[in-house]
C-alpha cells in the first residue's frame, strides 16, 4: 500500500485507493495532502488555544480555509504548490505557538505530533504520510468519525473561502474549524463526543451556507429565472469552470472590451442567473456538461480554460488543450499556469485574455437553452402557484435530486429516475448532479417547471430554505411531513457538509448514492441509518415504488 484515501465516492472497490487515486492523484500527491491536513491540525491546536485570550492574525483563518480546500478531491494536483503550503503552515504554527506563550494560555494538545512535526522535503513528507494519514487511528469507529468530521470541515472551509472572497466573514465559523481539527487529535474524545461534533458541523454548515448566500446575493443580486444559452458565438472565448463567482466577475470586468466571449462550464452555469453577472453582454452561454467530461469539451472549446476551484481531471498525454489551462485560488495542476491573488485581493487575468484573442471560436457541441435561477428568492415568488398546485393535487411530490455527478456508469440511475418520475412530481436540484437530467424535456405543471435548479452545490442552502418555507406555509410541525423525498448523489467533501446540514435540519430518510461513503464504518453507518433513516439507492423501479 503506497497510499490510502477514501474521502470521495470513487474510492477504489468501495474501500479506498491504495496505489493511485481514481481521481488521478499520485501516491506522492496523496501523501502531501495528508501532511497538509496534519499541519492544519497543528495550526488549529495553537489557534484554538490562543483564541481564548483574544483575536488571531487574519492569516490564520485564511490559511486554514485554503489549506483544507486544497485537499478536496480534484482541487489540486501540484506537488510543489502543496509543499509550499505545508511550509507556510509550519511558519504559521510557530507564530501561533509564540502567541500562546505571550498570552500565557495552556495548550492541551501542544505535544501531539501535529503540533511539533516538521518535514524539510517532499521525500520526508512522503515517508511520514502513513504515520499521520487516515489509518493513524486504530479504532475503526473513532477513525470513521474523525474522518467524517474532517471531510465535513473541508466542505465547510470551501464555503467559507468563497464567502471570504466576497468579504463576508464569521469568526465563530473560523473558530469551529480550529475546534474541529483539534478534536481529531484528542484521544480523550469517545464516539459520543465525536458524534456531537459531527452534528455540530452540520449546524455550522447551515450558518456558513447562509453566509455565502448573503455574500453572493448582496454582491450580485438574487438569482432570477433565466434561460441560459448552450450554443456558441463567433468570437473566441474563455471557459470559466469551478465555483468562484468573484473570479468570474473579475475576468468579466477585465475582458469587457477585449473582443472575446466568456462561457461558463459545469458548476459555473448558475452564474447566468445573477443580475450582477448577467449584465455583462459577453457572458454568452454555458459550454458542456458536468466536470468529468472536460477532456472532450476542452478540446472542442479551442480557447483557454480557467479553473477557479476543484473539479480538475488530469489531462491525457495526448491532450491538445493542456497548455491553455489556468488555475487560481486553491486549485492547481503541474504545468497549468496559476494566477495568484495580489495583496489587495485582486487578480490579473490579462495573460489568459491575451491568449484567448489568438484562439479560434468554440466548436458548437449542442444548441438550445437551459432554464435556471430557482434559488430561494425566486422560488418564494412562485410560492402562491406552488402551494395551489399542491393543494389541488396537480403537484403531488417534490424530489430533491441535488449533489454531484461523476463518471461511473451507475450514475445513469439519476437520469433514468428523473425520466420515470410521475408527471405530477417536481425536481428540486443544485450542484452538478443536475447535468444528468437538466437537458431532458420534462415539461411543466401548470407553468411550474418540473426541474427547479437552485444553482451550485454551494446553493443547497436554497433547497433548505424552500423546504422550511413550505413547512411554514402548510403549518406542519415536522419538515418530514412535507411531500418531499431526498435522493441525493454525492462525490466529494462539499457534499458531505451538505448532508450534515440536512441532518441538522432534521431531514430523515435521505437516499444517498450511488454508494454510501467508504469512510462510514459499519458502526457509524448503523447510527446514521437508525437515527436518521439514511439509506442507499436500489433500482429505479424499487425506489420509485418505495417513494409512492
CATH number at residue 526: 3.40.50.2030
Say if residue 107 is in the same domain as residue 193.
yes
Pairing between β-strand 305-307 and β-strand 283-286 as defined by DSSP bridges:
unpaired
337 near 242, Cβ under 8 Å? Answer: no
Residue 7 gets which letter from DSSP?
A: -
Mark which of 307, 322, 357 sits at the end of a domain. 357
pLDDT for position 464:
92
Report the Cα 391 to chain-centroid distance in Å. Answer: 35
Q: Which among 40, 75, 36 is positioned nearest to 307, based on CA atoms?
A: 75
Say if residue 202 is in the same domain as residue 146.
yes
Q: Which among 428, 445, 532 is positioned nearest to 485, based on CA atoms?
A: 428
Does 368 reside within a domain? no
Residue 259 gets which letter from DSSP?
A: T
Say if residue 426 is in the same domain as residue 530.
yes
Q: Write out residues in the chain with pLDDT < 50, as ranges.
A: none
Say if residue 57 is in the same domain as residue 199.
yes
What distance in Å separates the CA atoms of residue 225 and residue 444, rounded to the nearest whole number? 14
Does 366 reside within a domain? no
Say if residue 25 is in the same domain as residue 90.
yes
pLDDT for position 332:
98
Does 3 reside within a domain? no
Per the DSSP assignment, residues forming a β-bridge with 305 are 239, 325
Q: Which among 311, 272, 268 is positioned nearest to 407, based on CA atoms?
A: 311
What distance in Å separates the CA atoms of residue 437 and residue 414, rounded to the nearest whole number? 8
Per the DSSP assignment, residues forming a β-bridge with 398 are 426, 484
With a threshold of 0.85, does the pTM exceed it? yes
Does 367 reside within a domain? no
Mark which of 357, 386, 413 sits at the end of a domain. 357
What distance in Å separates the CA atoms of residue 184 and residue 181, rounded to the nearest whole number? 5
Does 279 reside within a domain? yes
Tell me how many domains the chain contains: 3
Does 459 reside within a domain? yes
Does 4 reside within a domain? no
Say if residue 393 is in the same domain as residue 540.
yes
H-helix or E-strand spanning residue 252: helix 245-254
C-alpha cell at 231: 450554443
CA dihedral 462, 467, 468, 474 (to 10 degrees): 140
C-alpha cell at 521: 464504518
Within a 13 Å sphere around the CA of 387, how many CA atoms are in the beta-carbon half? 14
CATH number at residue 137: 1.20.1270.20
What distance in Å separates the CA atoms of residue 402 and residue 298, rounded to the nearest whole number? 25
Does 2 reside within a domain? no
Mark which of 190, 219, 248 sits at the end of a domain. 219
Say if residue 185 is in the same domain as residue 48.
yes
Within a 13 Å sphere around the CA of 446, how many CA atoms are in the beta-carbon half? 16
Say if residue 169 is in the same domain as residue 247.
no
Say if residue 230 is in the same domain as residue 330.
yes
Say if residue 190 is in the same domain as residue 231.
no
Say if residue 250 is in the same domain as residue 329.
yes
> What is the spatial order of strands in the sheet that 337-339 belongs to?
283-286, 261-264, 237-241, 305-307, 325-328, 337-339
What is the CB neighbour count within 10 angstroms for residue 525? 17
- Cα torsion angle, 464, 467, 472, 476, sign: negative
Q: What are the two backbone dihedrals, phi and then psi, of residue 362, each rounded to the nearest 5 degrees?
A: -65, 150
pLDDT for position 548:
85
Print the domain residue range for 291. Answer: 226-357
What distance in Å separates the CA atoms of residue 37 and residue 32, rounded to the nearest whole number? 9
Which three-class secondary structure state does DSSP give residue 171?
A: helix
What distance in Å separates the CA atoms of residue 396 and residue 53, rounded to the nearest whole number? 55
373 near 223, Cβ under 8 Å? Answer: yes
156 near 201, Cβ under 8 Å? Answer: yes
Say if residue 380 is in the same domain as residue 324.
no
Amino acid at each position: 500500500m503506497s497510499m490510502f484515501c477514501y474521502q470521495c465516492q470513487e474510492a477504489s472497490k468501495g474501500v479506498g485507493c491504495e496505489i493511485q487515486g481514481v481521481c488521478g492523484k499520485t501516491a506522492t500527491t496523496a501523501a502531501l495532502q495528508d501532511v497538509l491536513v496534519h499541519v492544519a491540525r497543528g495550526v488549529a491546536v495553537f489557534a484554538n488555544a490562543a483564541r481564548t485570550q483574544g483575536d488571531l492574525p487574519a492569516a490564520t483563518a485564511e490559511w486554514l480555509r485554503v489549506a483544507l480546500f486544497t485537499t478536496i478531491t480534484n482541487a489540486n494536483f501540484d506537488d510543489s504548490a502543496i509543499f509550499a503550503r505545508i511550509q507556510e503552515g509550519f511558519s504559521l504554527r510557530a507564530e501561533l505557538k509564540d502567541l500562546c506563550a505571550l498570552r500565557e494560555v495552556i495548550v492541551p494538545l501542544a505535544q501531539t505530533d501535529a503540533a511539533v512535526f516538521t518535514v524539510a522535503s517532499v521525500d520526508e513528507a512522503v515517508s511520514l504520510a502513513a504515520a499521520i494519514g487516515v489509518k493513524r487511528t486504530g479504532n475503526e469507529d473513532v477513525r470513521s468519525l474523525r474522518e467524517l468530521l474532517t471531510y465535513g470541515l473541508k466542505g465547510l472551509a470551501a464555503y467559507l473561502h468563497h464567502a471570504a472572497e466576497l468579504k463576508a466573514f464569521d469568526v465563530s465559523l473560523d473558530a469551529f474549524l480550529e475546534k474541529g481539527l483539534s478534536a481529531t487529535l484528542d484521544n480523550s474524545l469517545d464516539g459520543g463526543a465525536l458524534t456531537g461534533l459531527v452534528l455540530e458541523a452540520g449546524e455550522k454548515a447551515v450558518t456558513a451556507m447562509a453566509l455565502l448566500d448573503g455574500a453572493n446575493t448582496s454582491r450580485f443580486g438574487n438569482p432570477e429565472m433565466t434561460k441560459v444559452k448552450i450554443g456558441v458565438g463567433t468570437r473566441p472565448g474563455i471557459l470559466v469552470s469551478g465555483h468562484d463567482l468573484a473570479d468570474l466577475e473579475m475576468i468579466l470586468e477585465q475582458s469587457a472590451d477585449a473582443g472575446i466571449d466568456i462561457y461558463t462550464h459545469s458548476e459555473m452555469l448558475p452564474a447566468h442567473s445573477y443580475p450582477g453577472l448577467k449584465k455583462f453582454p459577453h457572458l454568452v452561454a454555458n459550454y458542456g456538461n458536468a466536470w468529468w467530461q472536460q477532456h472532450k469539451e476542452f478540446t472542442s472549446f479551442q480557447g483557454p480554460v480557467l479553473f477557479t476551484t476543484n473539479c480538475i481531471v488530469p489531462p491525457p498525454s495526448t491532450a491538445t488543450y493542456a497548455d491553455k489551462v489556468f488555475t487560481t485560488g486553491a486549485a492547481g495542476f503541474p504545468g497549468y499556469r496559476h494566477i495568484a491573488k495580489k495583496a489587495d485581493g485582486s487578480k490579473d487575468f490579462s495573460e489568459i485574455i491575451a491568449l484567448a484573442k489568438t484562439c479560434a471560436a468554440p466548436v458548437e457541441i449542442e444548441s438550445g437553452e437551459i432554464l435556471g435561477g430557482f434559488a430561494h428568492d425566486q422560488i418564494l415568488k412562485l410560492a402562491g402557484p406552488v402551494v395551489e398546485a399542491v393543494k389541488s393535487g396537480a403537484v403531488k411530490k417534490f424530489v430533491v435530486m441535488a449533489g454531484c455527478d461523476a463518471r461511473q456508469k451507475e450514475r445513469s440511475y439519476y437520469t433514468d429516475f428523473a425520466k420515470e418520475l410521475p408527471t405530477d412530481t417536481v425536481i428540486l436540484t443544485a450542484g452538478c448532479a443536475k447535468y444528468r437530467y437538466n437537458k431532458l424535456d420534462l415539461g411543466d405543471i401548470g407553468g411550474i417547471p418540473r426541474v427547479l435548479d437552485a444553482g451550485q452545490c454551494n446553493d443547497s442552502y436554497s433547497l433548505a430554505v424552500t423546504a422550511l418555507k413550505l413547512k411554514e406555509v402548510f403549518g406542519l410541525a415536522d419538515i418530514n411531513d412535507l411531500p418531499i423525498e431526498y435522493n441525493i448523489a454525492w462525490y466529494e467533501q462539499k457534499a458531505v457538509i451538505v448532508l450534515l446540514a440536512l441532518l441538522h435540519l432534521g431531514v430523515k430518510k435521505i437516499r444517498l448514492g450511488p454508494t454510501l461513503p467508504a469512510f462510514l464504518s459499519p458502526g457509524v453507518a448503523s447510527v446514521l441509518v437508525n437515527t436518521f433513516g439514511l439509506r442507499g439507492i436500489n433500482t429505479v423501479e424499487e425506489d420509485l415504488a418505495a417513494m409512492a
